[in-house]
Structure 1
Amino acid sequence: EPTSALDVSVQAQIMNLLKNLKKKQISMIFITHDIALASDLCDNIAVMKDGIFVEHNNIEKVLTKPQHHFTKKLLSSVPALKTKLKYSTRRKSLDTILKLDKISVDFPVRKGLLKTEPFRAVSDVSLDIKKGETFALVGESGSGKTTIARVALRLISPTFGKVKFQNKVISNNYRELFEFRKNIQAIFQDPYSSINSFMNVYQIIEEPLVIHKIGDDTDRLEIITKALMDVNLTPVDDFLYKYPHMLSGGQRQRVGIARSLVLNPKFIVADEPVSMIDASSRLDILNLLRNLQKTKGISFLYITHDIATARQFSDKIAVMFFGRIVEMGTSTNIVINPLHPYTRSLIEAVPEPNPENRFRMRKVLSREIFHPNCTIFDSKSNKVIDLHIEQKKHKCKKQYPRFQEIKKNHYVACLL
C-alpha cells in the first residue's frame, strides 16, 4: 500500500514512477485495497479475503468478468466520475446555516533564532453552505482544507474574516462556543487515533453527553443505542462494550460517526472520513452519511482530496489550491465541465478500473509547476510552460485572478 496515505495527485505521480520501474523489467508485488489503482499498474491480480485467494486471473478478465461476489463488491465500491447520480444535487434550502466571510489565516513561522514571520495558509476564502446541503472542499495536501475545517469548528480563530452560524457571528465567548459546538460536530480522518483505545464503545459515545450534561444513565443508554442503530452497528449489545482494537477500520469510523450524532447536531465537518478506510467499506460509509443527511437534515462540510468521492457525496464542490478557492459550482458541473487547469489535473489523477490504464502515464500537474496566484499552464497547447522562462512575464504573477461566474452557479479564478 505505497499510496494509501497520499492525496490523489501525489498518488498518480508515484504510480507513474512505478510504471517507469516496470519498463526497466523490475518485477513487483503491488499490495492495495483499491482495485482501480491495481488496474493502473498490474498485469495479474489476486483478490484476497479472510486469508485466502477468492479470485486469481489476469487483470482484463477480473475487471470485465469478475466471478467472486467480493470482487464484484470491490468493483462496485469504486466511485465513478462520469456516471449519473442517483440523487438530486439541487439546493436543499435557501437558508444559510454556515457562512465563512473572507477568511484568512496566518501562522507564525520561525525565521532565525528570534524572528518570526506570518505564513498565510488560507487567503480570502468565502463559503456559503445551505441547510441540508453537502458542500465538498477538494484539494491536495497543504492546500488549506483542514485549516478551513478548523476555522469552521472554531478550533482556531481566523486572522481576518468572520464565521457565521445560523446568521450569528460566533465570538470567542466561552458560553457561545460551548453551545455552538453542541450544534456543529466533526468526523475525523483516522479512526485509529481519533477514538480512545482505552475506552469501550459505550464510553466513547457517552463522553459528549457527559460533557454537555445530557440525561441520566438510562437516558444516555437509550441515546447511545439509537446512535449505534443509526450507523448500522447492530446487534447493539454486540458492540456496546467492545474496545477499538476489537473493531475493523470501518466499524471504528462508524463509532466516530455515532459519537458525532448523539448531540443531534445541525452541521457536521467530515474531514476526509473515508481516506484511511479500505475500498470495500468506503462506499458504505458515504451512503451512510448521505442517509443520515436525508433522515436528519444535517448539513455537511466534506473535506477530501478525492474529487470522485466528492462528486458521489456532495451537492456543491469548491476546489482549493494554495489557500484559495480556484473553482466552485455544483458537483456535476465541476466534474463534467472543469474550467480551471488544477481541477482538470485532480480529475485526471483519479484511478478508474480500466486495464488500458497500464499503458498510459497520467498527466498530473504537481504543485511545483503552479504559481500560487493561478497556474503556469497553456490550456490551448495543453503544455506546461517552463517556469524559469515564462513565470516573470506571466500575468498571474502580477495579480490574483478575479473570482467570477463563468456560467450559472459556476465560478472560477483563472486568467487563461
Structure 2
Amino acid sequence: MTQVFDRTVQSPQTDVNLDEYNTEERRHIRKISVQGSQSFGENGPLKSVVYLRGDEREAARKFVEANMEQLKEFDLSGRNRLQEYLNREIYDWVLHFLGARALEKFETVVRESRPDGTTWIIEREQYERHNRRYTVSEGKVAKLSEVTPRKVFDSFGSVVTESDIETHDQVKTKDPMALLEYYRVSPDYNVEATTITRKAESGHSEESALRVLEDTTDSDDDITGVSGSESNIETEISTKRSNSERTEQGNTQREPDHRYFAVMIDTIGTIRVRIKQSKDHNIGYALRPQFRFSRKQVDRSIVERFTDYCGENGISYRIEERQDRDSIICVISGIKNTRKLLTKFRPDMIQQSEQVEIMLDEILPAMESREHNTKEGFLKVMESVDRLRETLRSTSNTRYNKAYFESEWNLDSPEDT
C-alpha cells in the first residue's frame, strides 16, 4: 500500500495525482475535478479532491473547504456551471456543506431543508434516482412550506394518519406515506406503526398511521437551520424496529452480551443532556437526554453487536462516522430510549452509578412530567444537569448552565422565588 493511498483511506486528499497510486489502488479511487475551472472566476481554479469510493460525503466536504472562496462566486439558486461537472450525489453534498440545503438521509427516506423555509421529504429510492426528484405529483414526495416537520407533527393528536397529512394545509403531497415514514424512522419521534379502520359507504377501509408513544417535544429538530458546517459526520441513521420485527430470541436477554456491554457503558460511555436553541419550543430552548460512546473503526463489529442488542430490546439508536478520527459513534437519545437503556444497566454501574442516578431519578422524571417546558421548571432541571456535568470525568462546553438561563430570563431559581 502506498503512503498516499493510506492517507486517502483516512480522509479525502487535495494536491495529489492519480499516478501516485498503484494500479490496484486506482480501482478504489475516485476524483472530484472541474475541468477548465480557471475561467470560472477571479479566485483561481478549483482544487481537485481524490477520495476512496464510498466516501462521497467527506469528499464533498473537503471540496467545499478547499474551494470556499471560488464557490462563493457561483449562483446556486438555479441551473449553474458547477452542475455540469459534478455528479448529482457529489453536487447534493456540496450544496449541503455550502449551506444551500441540509440533508438528513435515512434508510428509506431523505429530508432536505432549504434556507427559504422549504422542507422536502422524499423516498430514498426516488431521491437517489435524481430524475423528477422535486415533483409532489409523482411518487412518495412531500413538500412543507415555511413549517418544519416538528410543527406539522405537533399539530396532530395521539394518532397521526395518512389523511391527517394529506389534508394539512402546509403539506403538499400526493402520497402522504413519505412524511409518515419520516416520522416512523427518525429517532426524534417516539411512535409506532399501526393501522386504523374507517367506515365508508362501500364498507370499511384501512389506512396506515402512527401512534405517539410519549411526549416528543424534547426532541431536537436537528436540521431546522441550514448550516454549512457540522461538528460530526452522520452518514446513516438506523431505522426503528417495530415489535413485529423482533424475534422471540431477540427479546430474550443474552447474558454474556449484557455483562460485556455493562462494562463498556460504565467505562467508556457518556451520559449527558444536550441543550440547544429551538424555535419550536415556547421558551426558546430544548433539552435532549443522551448516552453515547465511541470506538475505533476496527471495532465496528462490537458497535454492531451493541446496536443489535438495542434493537432486540426496543431501544432506538443512530450511528455517526468520524472519518477524521477513524471512529464510529453510537448515540442513544430521547427520554424513552435513555430510560430504557440506563434502567437495564443500572444494577451493573460502578463508575457511573451517580450519573445514572441523577438521570433516572431527577432529570428524566422532570422531563416526563414536562416541567422543562416552562422557564421555572427548566431552571429546576438545569440544577440536576449542572450536577451531572460535575460528575463527568472530562470537561465539556458548559455555556448553557443554570446561571446562564437565570441571567437570560432574568429569573431566580425556583426555591428563591
TM over 0.5: no
In the superposition, the TM-score normalised over structure 2's length comes to 0.23
Larger radius of gyration, structure 1 or 2? 2
More RCO (CA 8 Å, sep 6+): 1
User: Which is helix-richer, 1 or 2?
Assistant: 2
In the superposition, the TM-score normalised over structure 1's length comes to 0.23
